[in-house]
């Protein structure tokens, strides 16, 4: 083991899939393979945060990671697998951008969280309904349009009005900063996908 992590960090899709197959053929537990991939994804997220990797690298790593998980159905379906926590995720109302949201989903999934993806253009009531149904303590929202700032606040207000006081809210997207978080009443904002992982760790 170790080759999978190195190959994934190096964004070598062919090598990753070959090493995963070798590991499976040799009897390595799928959970161990996934754990090694998770280490690589965390390192990639950290590298993005320091400017050593770029958005294209994140997209590539997310694509390769998904191909690996597709090869490990037993890991995905194992009822005894303990997730670190649940996260309700979606792009806010009146915004249909999904690349950033999908990257966050992959990074959170790679880190061991169960992600409930609501998709794009998500109305506040949908966030609230799924937070209630799932018992999730984290709501992660994506916003790429400045015109959708009011949608962030509407969602935050809806969560608070529903009495979900234990839910912590993080918002991500290129135009989102501390001023927007203060305006909306959310708890934090993420500059990159790895920030969402750190935020979830602080909650769970």
pTM value is 0.77
**Structure-block tokens of residue 4:** 């999978």
Q: What pLDDT is recorded for position 1?
A: 54
Domain range list for the chain: 3-77, 86-203
Spatial neighbors of 33 by CB under 8 A, at least 6 apart, are 4, 20, 23, 24, 68, 72, 75
Same topology, domains 3-77 and 86-203? Answer is no
Residue 79 has what pLDDT? 46
Architecture of domain 86-203: 3-Layer(aba) Sandwich (3.40)
DSSP per-residue codes, 16-35: HHHHHHHHHHTT--HHHHHH
Mean pLDDT of 52-74: 85
Q: What is the DSSP letter of 173?
A: S
β-pairing, 168-172 vs 114-117, is unpaired
Q: pLDDT-based confidence at 82, cuts 50/70/90? A: low
State what percent of residues in the chain have pLDDT above 90. 62
Q: Which CATH number is 3-77 given?
A: 1.10.1240.10
């Amino acid at each position: 083991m170790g080759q999978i992590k190195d190959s994934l960090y190096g964004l070598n899709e062919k090598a990753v899939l070959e090493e995963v197959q070798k590991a499976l053929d040799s009897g390595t537990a799928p959970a161990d393979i996934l754990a090694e991939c998770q280490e690589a994804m965390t390192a990639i997220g950290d590298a993005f945060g320091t400017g050593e990797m770029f958005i294209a690298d994140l997209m590539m790593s997310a694509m390769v990671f998904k191909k690996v998980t597709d090869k490990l159905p037993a890991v995905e379906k194992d009822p005894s697998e303990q997730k670190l926590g649940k996260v309700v995720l979606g792009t806010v109302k009146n915004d249909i951008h999904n690349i950033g949201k999908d990257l966050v989903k992959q990074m959170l999934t790679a880190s061991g969280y169960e992600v409930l993806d609501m998709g794009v253009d998500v109305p506040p009531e949908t966030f609230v309904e799924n937070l209630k149904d799932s018992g999730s303590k984290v709501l992660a929202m994506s916003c790429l349009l400045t015109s959708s700032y009011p949608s962030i606040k509407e969602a935050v207000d809806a969560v608070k009005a529903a009495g979900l006081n234990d839910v912590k809210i993080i918002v991500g997207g290129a135009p989102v900063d501390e001023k927007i978080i203060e305006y909306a009443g959310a708890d934090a904002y993420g500059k990159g996908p790895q920030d969402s992982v750190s935020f979830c760790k602080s909650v769970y």
